[in-house]
Amino acid sequence: MNATLPSSPPVLPTFAAQPPESPHDSWICDVPPCYRMAAYSIRQGLGEKRRVWVAGGVHPQETPLLATALLRLRRRHPSLLLVLAPRRADEADEAFARLCMKGLRVQRHSQGAGCPANTDVYLLDSLEELPLFYAAGDAAFIGCSLVPAGGHSPLEPLAMGVPAVTGLHMGPFAEVVDHLRRSGGLRQAADTEELVLALEGLLPEGALLGKALAQGAHKRLLRQTEPRSRSMHSF
């Protein structure tokens, strides 16, 4: 079965990089049914019975690190699929080459051939669809964070109820990451070994617990920001 998108995908929600200025401007997205249906369609194409790990915004230097992590994770999860979205579309060819050098079977999304059961890595080289793939996954990795490249907002996968792991290099997102980490919905890893350990706790039967933690972390962080928001708007 092919991992295809609906012919007219719904408008993707927008996620703020910082908590809202007003508690009414919620950055916890209520994912519309049509969006969930699109994500479910993608998951069917990727493989309903496979664990799916989605890595978004991946820096070229992180690609071989994630490939190594995948090979180690597959010792316990033989059918684990990595969906890897490069930081930029023009880096997809380099990512493809690096993954193939690791001996991995790679399928490119842009080729439209779907995701055969023997695929190791599904290379998402059309980045505007990344939020849908996050929603279809069991766990996420936030790229540009294992190397000092500025990180990305962790809110996209977490708003979908998908637990995430980041590296330690989160740049302007460090404060949000700290809140989410202490709330239990996000884990951090300093290197490949810690990344494997973090994902091990999210991919097995505990995946549903991980999703609940991600959603709960969002709600707790929003509650923590509300007093500050009210005080700002009281003047």
pLDDT of residue 30: 54
**pTM for the whole structure:** 0.78
pLDDT of residue 65: 97
* Tens-place pLDDT, residues 209-221: 445 455 555 555 5
Residue 26 covered by a domain: no
pLDDT of residue 28: 38
Burial 66-96 (b: 16+ CB within 10 A, else e): bbebbbbbbeebeebbbbbbbbeeebbeebb
pLDDT of residue 114: 92
Distance CA 41, CA 36 (A): 9
Residue 94 covered by a domain: yes
pLDDT of residue 185: 73
Residue 165 covered by a domain: yes
Residue 13 covered by a domain: no
Smallest CA-to-CA distance from 31 within 186, 211, 156, 185 is with 156
Q: Which domain holds residue 180?
A: 33-232
pLDDT of residue 201: 83
Residue 44 covered by a domain: yes
CATH of the domain at 142: 3.40.50.2000
Number of domains in the chain: 1
Under-70 pLDDT residues of the chain: 1-32, 204-235
